[in-house]
Each structure stands twice: as structure tokens, then as C-alpha cells.
Structure 1
Amino acid sequence: MTSGGDDMRLIAGRYQLGDRLGRGGMGTVWRAYDQMLAREVAAKELHVASDHHEHHRRLRRAQREARTVARLRHPHVVGVHDLVEHDDRLWIVMELIDGPSLARRIADSGPLPPRHAAALGLQLLGALEAVHAAGALHRDIKPANILLRGDGSAVLTDFGIAALEDDESLTTTGELLGSIGYMAPERLTAEEVGPPSDLWSLGATLSAVASGVPPFQRPTGAAALHAVTFADPVIPERVGPLRPIVLALLNKSPAQRPSAATLRTALQRVADGADDPGPLPPAAPTEPVRAPGPAPTPGGDADTSAYLADTPTMTAPPTASAASTAGAPHTATGTPTLDRDPTLISSPARTPDLDREPTLVAPAGPPPPRPRGRARTWWWTVGVTLAVAGLATALFFTFGPPSGSDSDDDAAPQPATSTTKVTVDATRGWQSATTTPVRKGDKVSVRYTSGTWTVDAANLPLVGPVGHTRVDDEALRFAWTDCKVNSDVPFGALLGRYPGNPRNPHTVGRAWHFQATRPGALQLRINDGEGCLHDNRGAITVTVQITH
């Protein structure tokens, strides 16, 4: 998905806009040229709502973001140069990191070795300490929001949902922003949030980049929310010596997570090649926040880049893909393929705009006193349980109860049935789903089995057969006309077609059943047009059953 139509604009008489680098719920990021200082920068155009109150709230959030990042001086935090207003919109001018996101790096080259992941973890830990010392929280740490410089070092970006600890008046009751699989459980249960919440997200990120699988990956928002709040993380064996670190950081209780100092020592050991990160005791309750400073890395940043020397940095063409679930990264490339959980944006004023998956909305009204955290947790538990129960009921009525294997009439003739597993690639158009033509009268069943894909590998997460969430789909509205095969369903939905079917192309989703009215070939594809497949990633596996 490429941009067009708005290039060559001059912002504030100084910044010449170029290619669109990304677009999401918080804003659109452009490559720009600073005519005064003769340098390339990234210009983030803030998305604002039409009503005055929402407009004012978003402007304040952007100003807060810019102030928070601008006062930081750290090699692993993106630099903010300027904050300007133009055409009644706010623009944040930032350092241009012309490299891939960590998510894109994993999607292109696979998971990182534990030592490599630990080296990057040290850099990110230093960045977080600087953020926390400035009195802020990042709140959206995930592979898609971490960019890689040319030397392979990490840069923490996208402070679009960071909240200053000392400015509670800017907190909107009932609103949760971020990617569920990387959100600490206390954020989902309205309990106290602090630096340990960012360390939780760092732990989830380390596990994802070292294994290729987020520790709380689930097919729906409700299931992911329940997993973060109640379930144990799934940590593959290839995480190796990082496993104790990840487990300690993903403790459900913030008080039981290790301190930044303990975490640094453990990551340093793994980065140096140790098989054991050492002890990881809980942080002392009164431990102060450390002063900002660069993250110690094995031998410094120069040595860290040596860790990454065998991993080439991927660079995108000038017209990069556009869209993000929680603010676009400031880079020409970036693939949040590890940001696979749906993004939850829960707000009482905008409930109808939430994504299509089951979504929990926090109650409106003033926030309760802290001692009522357990009561709020109880209500969230009830809500999650009802959501999961509703999902199970829907599956029951869609697929029916389990069928028995016994037959009352052993002598009755049995129809001939063939079952085949088929992989549908996101980078191709219509693909044959059967090795032989379907005959007239055959009963055909297509059921989703496994796999994920995305229509915008630079910015959108991997999703299942029902396609991208409503929020992500809206972020690509500019491409609906040119790229959607079926305009009635989201990008990324699984589609099928068969000769004579009155609803071609049919939305398969998780299952599709029909009886053939004529001979023909069954075909499947992703909901993305022929000329828009270049930035897709992933594949879906389905089971096709044909009964003659």
C-alpha cells in the first residue's frame, strides 16, 4: 500500500514533505527535508478528531509526547527536533531512522540468537531507564516500535501513548491503548501502573524476538486479554538462557519483577555468552529510579554492532507501506509481524469504532480509588469470562457439537470423502485449493486450520482468516478502492470462489460450506488486490473436505 497525492507540501515554511512512511491511529509519518538545516527528518502529522474536545485532547497528547521525548538525550531513544502547527494540525519533527523495525528484521531473517537479543535488550533497558527518570512511561513497547540503525543498534520510538506520571489530568477514564499481547496485566485490570509495566513489555518483546512467537499470542482480542491477565506465557525452547529473564519479567505481580539493575546484570551475562543469567530476585519496594544514561552493552555500542554484523539491515524503497495499529514507526521500513495480537482501543465515546473481534470496554466515570483494584479486577474477570463464553457459543453454533464415530446402521453405504490441507500464500492471488476438479453435487467444506498473514508487512500485525481489525482496516481506507477484492470485508480476510456460486468472491473466514451446482475448481486467496501483494507476508493453512 503506497501513498500519494500529498507529497511536496511545505510545512511551517521549512519542512518539505516526501514519501509517506507509515500511518496509524495516532498519526501519519512522512519523510521530510528540513530546508533550514539541510537534513532529512521524519515528520509525524497528528490525526485529530472533528469534535473540539477530542481535537484538544489529542493535541495535548502530542505535545506531551514531544516534550517527553525532546528532553531525553539517549542514543537509544529517537530524537525530537521540533513541534509545529500547520493547517490546524500538529506536527512532530523527529530524527529519521532510515532502517527497519525489529519486527521487520525478524520477519525477514527469523528470530535472533539469545546473545543478540540480550545485547539489544541492554540498549532498550537503558532507553527505558532514561524515559522513567524523566517521569514518563512508554506504554507501547513492542518489536514494531523498535527501529534498527545502520550499525544494528536499537532505537525506541513511538511515544504516542506515553503518559507523564505527574499529569493525571491527561488520563482518560476507561481508555486503554496499546497492543494487548505486550501490555502488562495491571494495565488491563485498572491497577497501579509504573516502570515495572514497561519492563513486562520488554520481557514479552525479548521472548518474541528470540523465538519468533509472542508469548501471549491468541486468535482474538478477548482471548489475548484473558491470556495476559491469567495464563502462563508460552516461551519456546529456542529462547535459551533468556528464559529465566523472560519468566521473571512476565510475573503477574509488578512487585515480583526484578529491578532494572538486576535485569542489566542478567542481560549482560547472556550477552557475554553465559548459559545462566544468574539470580533474578524481586525489586526492593523502595528502590529509586536510576538516572538516565546509555545502556551498557557488551564492549559498548561499537562491540554491540559487532554482534549484529552478520545481520544485514534491510532497507525499503522510497515508497514504503503505510499503516500501524498504534502510531506509525518513523522509518521507511518496519514490519510488526511480531505484533500479532489485535490492538485494543477501548473508549466509551468511540465504542462503535472498535475492532471486530470481541472487545472489552472499561466502564465510564471517574476512576475508583486504588484500594478498589481487586473489585475492578473481579469485574474484568467476569467480562473476560463472558466474552470467551460468547466466543465458544458462536463456535458451537457455527460448527455444531462434536460428532460421534458410531453408526446405527453399519450396512448403510458411506459417501466417498477426501480431505486435503492447503496453504494459501498472502503474496499470491487466486490459488487452486484442490488437486482435482470438484464435481456437480459434491459437498465442499473449507475450514481454517492454522497460520497468519498480513496485507501490510511494514506496519500491520499478522492476523488470522477473518482479516485485520476494524481499526487497522480503517487505517488503510485510502487503498480500499484500488486494493480490496471484496469491499465488504476487511483486508486480510480469507476469500473463496467457485463457478456458479452466487456470492463470488465468498468470505470464507474460519469456515465455508457449499454444494457444487456444476463442475469446477475451488480457489482461495487473501482479500488484497493483484497490484497490492508486494508488501504482504505469511500464509494460511486450511482443510478442504470434499464429499462425493
Structure 2
Amino acid sequence: MTSGDGDHQAGIRSEHGSGRLISGRYLLHDILGRGGMGTVWRAHDQLLDRPVAVKELHILTHGDEEHRIRVRRTIREARAVARVPHPHVVGVHDLVESEDRLWIVMELVQGPSLAHHLAEYGPLTPQHTASLGLQLLDALVAVHAAGTLHRDVKPANVLLRRDGSAVLTDFGIAVLDDGEFLTTTGELIGSLEFMAPERVMGAEVGPASDLWSLGATLATVCGGLSPFRRPARPATLHAVAYQEPALSERLGPLRPVIEALLRKSPDERPTAASTRDALHRVAAGHSDAGALLPSPTAHASWPAPLLADADTMTSGRQGLVPAGQNGQTSVHTTSLRPTPQPSSRHRGAKRLLWALVGTTVLAAGVGGGLFLTGVLPLKKDPVTTTTRQAVKSTTGWQRVTGVTVRQGDKVTMRFVSGQWTVDHVNVPMTGPAGYNAAIDQSLDGAKDCKIKPAAPFGALLARLAGEKNVPIRSVGRKLTFKAAGNGTLQLAINDEADRCVQDNKGTLTMQVSVTHQP
């Protein structure tokens, strides 16, 4: 079990935590991850002699009413998960009070989160994504049967076991149907880009809301980008509520399933059974999964944020408007007076508007760069192009095909697989970081063969031909930089191509992404 709120961070030590004994039984070792609600420790259950994960909640067991509400929320979290025994739901072993705070003892999952896997290795294939989707769908069905909503399904809250199977974790904001409403009025808890439109709008939520979040999660791990992520929080809220998802062509046969799950109205989404049948078809390699999904009948659109008859402010910017309507306008109208007896859906729309206004106020107070008009201008989404490139050790500078780099673009290179050597007879294979100091020093007699003298032999190098002075960068397992000019991206092994590569051997595979902000 790692933290669902952050990347996998196995092995991080804490000077003030490692070695503590919790409740006379659980010995803390190292931190697996940190999130907004707690810190997750790798620990050992001394009574049963087994490894466990212990989640230290960042709340005390005593204090004012707010603290007591959070304690009750935590107890319900543990109860919610413990009552769902399922191979794809993280197991909860114990709930203890120690050091004036609560600790949840859980199954230790020896693997990274889906978010970490995506960042490290890139998107999954549609078939692989569908297989994991089936596991998560079954987990959610079991959760819903127990009267529980997860409410925060996202890649960071899915862990991968060593056998590659998925585990749904972090029920930190779950709501039980037999308990109190655990959030204050108007509070939005969770990751906005994976939050169903009805939650954003303040409408009633249910199992269909978790299925929407599952669709957003699968779209992200297969397509490589979240379909609703925007540069700012208000824009993300607006995209979830009103805009169609930005879906990658990588989804292939999975696309109809994702489109159905991400319909704005919960009533228009497929059932868990229909979703399961469609995912089975994709996982099996078929391309007709969309035929198994019901078509929307009267696809209801969400109402626009309420703009009543009140003060008028003039602006040359584009405002928040429903998807499908012309957003180019020079007049925005807002009101501080309530509309008489609004319906529940319109109350949700107004709630979204005030959430956007509140976020704008916060941003203005911190950065002073936003103009408060009651709505916020939207920026065009950044466009990312991703490709894979084989880099040979027997060739000099090799152009990365499939991407174009312009000034201001963000360029990211990640190691995928492979090894190479600059002397296959005398030195071992190595990866993109090149040789260690000892081996590099043993090759000092051929130091004139280095392209970049400061980097070790065998290191992967990159340059953007066209940049001023053409700097040569050491890539290692991952490198991100901002392009200072237009150019052609090139990669090479740190070994002079013209006269020194006769004894080289091997190839590396790299994933290269270029993000352009329009």
C-alpha cells in the first residue's frame, strides 16, 4: 500500500519516524508516500510477523468539532474498506489510536501506483488498459454493493502488485449510506480532473459517479494525458462540467467505452454490466466494443452557470460558457442576488460558479495576476506529441523522428529499455547514465573519443540542433528542458561517431514527448 495522493516513493527515510513502535505492535520503517490526508509507512506487524502498510492520519484524536468530524471520517474510511473483501480492493487489518492520532493498518502492496507507472514508462495499450479496467470495475461493484462510494478514483489511487494486477486504494473521502454526510456544504474533496460532473455541480452522486472517474482514469493511463486537465483549477472545473473530453487516438478500440463513461449526465452512462462486456471485448482484442454500449437517448446537457440580471462588466476576454456555444463575447453579466427557488441542478450550476469565483479570489490574493469578473478566461490546451526512438550505439547523432521542437516547447525524454557498450570486448553493458567512475576512469586513454568530456562514456546525450550555441545535455533515465529556440532534436551515445564506434554494441529505446503551449 502506497499513498494514493502522491507518487510511489519507496525507500524515503524519515529521521523522526523510522523505528517508532505504534500501539506496541507496529514497527515503522520507511515512508512509502505522503498525501493530503496522511503519511503511509512501510511497517512490520510484530505480533503476526508480517509486513504491513500503516497510514498515519494528519489529524489528532482530540480537539474541536472540526477535528472530531475528521476523526469520524477516518473511522468510516477504515470501516468502508474493511467490509469489502475483494482481491482488487486494498485489505484493512486494523485501526488504532496512538500518539494522539489515528493509524490505519493495511495490506502492503509491493508495487507502484498507476500514476507512477504512467510517468515512468508511458501509456498502456488499449488491451492492457481494458484488463486493468475490468479489475477496477469489479472492485467498484463490490464497493457499491457494500453501500459505499469511493469518490476519488484516479491513477494515483490504483496500485500495481508484482503480478501486474490492480488494487484500488485510499477511501479517504468515501461516504457510507449509513453514516453522516462527511463534507461541509460546498466543499469539493478529491482531484478535480477525475471528479464527475455531478460532484462539481453539487448534484446527487452515486455509483455512476465512480464509473465516470474510472473512465477518466482509463483515458489517462491509455492516452497519456488527463482528458480534462487544464492549466488552472477554474478551467478544469469548467472542462469537467461543460466540455467534451480531449481523447487521444491511442485509445483505439477503447474510445467508445471511454466516451460512454464520460457522458455528462449520470443517466446516460452505461451500467457496470454493459461496461464489463465492452471492456472484455477490448481486452480480447476485438474492435467492436462500442456496439455493446447503449446509445444516449435524450442526452441532457448541464445548465450554464447562472448569469442573472444584474451588474454588467465589460471585458474583451472569453468567459465560461457551456460546451457547444460561442464563447467569444465582450460582455459578461454576473449577479450577487439569488434567483428565486432554483432547481437542484441550477443550484449546482450556481455552486460551480461560486467555486470558480472563490478560486479566482484565492489566485488573485496569492499572485495578484487575475482580474476578478466572476468568470475566468480560458486558455488553449497545450498539445503534446509523443514518440519512441531507438538510439544506436554504432551511429553518431540520430534525429528523433515524429516530433517538431519550437522555441518555448517542453521536451521530456524517458528511458524505456535497452543497454549498450562502448567496448563490447573489455567493458560491460550500461544504460543511459553511462559507466560508473571506476569504469569511466579505466577508459581514460580514449578520453578524446568523448563528445561531452564532463559526462561518462556510454551516457546518452541530447542536443537541439538550431538552438543558440547548441548545448549538449546528458539525458540519463529522464531529462526535461525548455527549448530556447526552434531546432531538430538529436540523440547519441557519448563516444565520437566518426572514429571510435567500431567496437560499440547495443541500442537504447527512449520515449520522447514535446509539449507545445499554443
* Alignment TM-score, normalising by the size of structure 2: 0.60
How far residue 384 of structure 1 moved from its aligned partner, in angstroms, is 3.7
Determine which of 129, 135, 150 is the counterpart of 1:123.
Answer: 135
* Corresponding letter in the other structure for 2:127: R
Contact 2:228 2:240 in 1 (8 A): yes
Q: What is the aligned partner in structure 1 of residue 155 from structure 2? A: 143
Rate the CA distance shift 1:96–1:120 in 2: closer, same or farther, 3 A. same
1:510-535 superposed Cα distances (whole Å, 9 cap, x missing partner) = xxxxxxxxxxx9x9x9xxxxxxx99x
Partners of 2:164 and 2:114 in 1: how far apart? 10
1:251-308 superposed Cα distances (whole Å, 9 cap, x missing partner) = 0101000000000000001111101102311699xxxxxxxxxxxxxxxxxxxxxxxx
Query: What's the C-alpha RMSD, in Å, of the aligned pairs?
Result: 3.6
How far residue 56 of structure 1 moved from its aligned partner, in angstroms, is 1.2
Higher relative contact order (CA 8 A, sep 6+): 1
- Identical columns (%): 56
Q: What is the aligned partner in structure 2 of residue 13 from structure 1? A: 24
- SS state of the match for residue 82, structure 1? strand
Partners of 1:448 and 1:395 in 2: how far apart? 23
* Corresponding letter in the other structure for 1:21: L
Q: What is the aligned partner in structure 2 of residue 197 from structure 1? A: 209
Partners of 1:101 and 1:369 in 2: how far apart? 45
How far residue 65 of structure 1 moved from its aligned partner, in angstroms, is 0.5
Determine which of 315, 322, 344 is the counterpart of 1:372.
Answer: 344
* Corresponding letter in the other structure for 2:293: L
Is 1:25 equivalent to 2:18 in the alignment? Answer: no
Is 1:539 equivalent to 2:480 in the alignment? Answer: yes
Q: What is the aligned partner in structure 2 of residue 105 from structure 1? A: 117
Rate the CA distance shift 1:267–1:386 in 2: closer, same or farther, 3 A. same
Partners of 1:538 and 1:172 in 2: how far apart? 42
Partners of 1:148 and 1:134 in 2: how far apart? 24
Partners of 2:143 and 2:155 in 1: how far apart? 18
How far residue 222 of structure 1 moved from its aligned partner, in angstroms, is 1.2
Is 1:68 equivalent to 2:80 in the alignment? Answer: yes
Is 1:39 equivalent to 2:11 in the alignment? Answer: no
How far residue 98 of structure 1 moved from its aligned partner, in angstroms, is 1.1
* Corresponding letter in the other structure for 2:274: T
Q: What is the aligned partner in structure 1 of residue 423 from structure 2? A: none
Contact 2:84 2:146 in 1 (8 A): yes
Structure 2 gap segments, 5+ residues each: 1-8, 298-335, 372-406, 414-468, 487-518
Partners of 2:110 and 2:158 in 1: how far apart? 12
| Range 74-83 or range 210-219, more displaced | 210-219
Q: What is the aligned partner in structure 1 of residue 294 from structure 2? A: 281
1:199-231 superposed Cα distances (whole Å, 9 cap, x missing partner) = 000000111111111111211111111111111
Aligned length: 339
Is 1:187 equivalent to 2:187 in the alignment? Answer: no
- SS state of the match for residue 168, structure 1? coil
* Corresponding letter in the other structure for 1:372: S
Partners of 1:181 and 1:451 in 2: how far apart? 24
Is 1:227 equivalent to 2:168 in the alignment? Answer: no
Contact 1:258 1:283 in 2 (8 A): no
Q: What is the aligned partner in structure 2 of residue 250 from structure 1? A: 262
How far residue 386 of structure 1 moved from its aligned partner, in angstroms, is 9.3
Partners of 2:184 and 2:342 in 1: how far apart? 16
Contact 1:255 1:282 in 2 (8 A): no
- SS state of the match for residue 48, structure 1? strand
Contact 1:259 1:283 in 2 (8 A): no
- SS state of the match for residue 59, structure 2? coil
How far residue 245 of structure 1 moved from its aligned partner, in angstroms, is 0.5
- SS state of the match for residue 170, structure 1? coil
* Corresponding letter in the other structure for 1:192: E
Q: What is the aligned partner in structure 2 of residue 48 from structure 1? A: 59
- SS state of the match for residue 199, structure 2? helix
How far residue 174 of structure 1 moved from its aligned partner, in angstroms, is 1.8
* Corresponding letter in the other structure for 1:250: L
Rate the CA distance shift 1:395–1:169 in 2: closer, same or farther, 3 A. closer
Contact 1:141 1:198 in 2 (8 A): yes
* Alignment TM-score, normalising by the size of structure 1: 0.56
Partners of 2:149 and 2:59 in 1: how far apart? 23
Rate the CA distance shift 1:28–1:537 in 2: closer, same or farther, 3 A. farther
Contact 1:9 1:17 in 2 (8 A): yes
Determine which of 256, 266, 269 is the counterpart of 2:278.
Answer: 266
- SS state of the match for residue 7, structure 1? coil
> Rg bigger for which structure?
2
Contact 2:409 2:483 in 1 (8 A): yes
- SS state of the match for residue 116, structure 1? helix
Structure 1 gap segments, 5+ residues each: 285-362, 397-446, 454-520, 526-532
Contact 1:448 1:540 in 2 (8 A): no
* Corresponding letter in the other structure for 2:480: A
How far residue 117 of structure 1 moved from its aligned partner, in angstroms, is 0.5
- SS state of the match for residue 155, structure 1? strand
Contact 1:118 1:267 in 2 (8 A): yes
How far residue 243 of structure 1 moved from its aligned partner, in angstroms, is 0.4
